[in-house]
Amino acid sequence: MNHYSEEKLTDICEDAFVKVKEACMRLQEKTGCSNDVVVKMLNNVSEFYISQSESTD
């Protein structure tokens, strides 16, 4: 795992949050899907990354 300073990690997380939120908003605008659909999709994405992390440990 890369070692980032607390400040750098905060910047990365804030930037990622904004980008993911904007992508979700565009998805909802384009498809008209509900928040529940967005939450399910985000859970699937997080499960994917968790499984990737577990397979490299």
Report domain extents, the chain.
Answer: 6-54
DSSP output for 1-57: -----HHHHHHHHHHHHHHHHHHHHHHHHHH---HHHHHHHHHHHHHHHHHHHHHH-
Q: What band does 53 get if pLDDT is binned at 50, 70 and 90?
A: confident
pTM: 0.77
- Say if residue 56's pLDDT is above 80: no
Give the C-alpha separation, 41 to 18, whole Å.
Answer: 17
pLDDT value for 54: 84
pLDDT tens for 9-34 read 999 999 999 999 999 999 999 999 99
Cβ burial 25-44 (10 Å sphere, 16+ → b, else e) = eeeeeeeeeeeeebeeeeee
Between 9 and 55, name the one with better pLDDT.
Answer: 9
- Say if residue 57's pLDDT is above 80: no
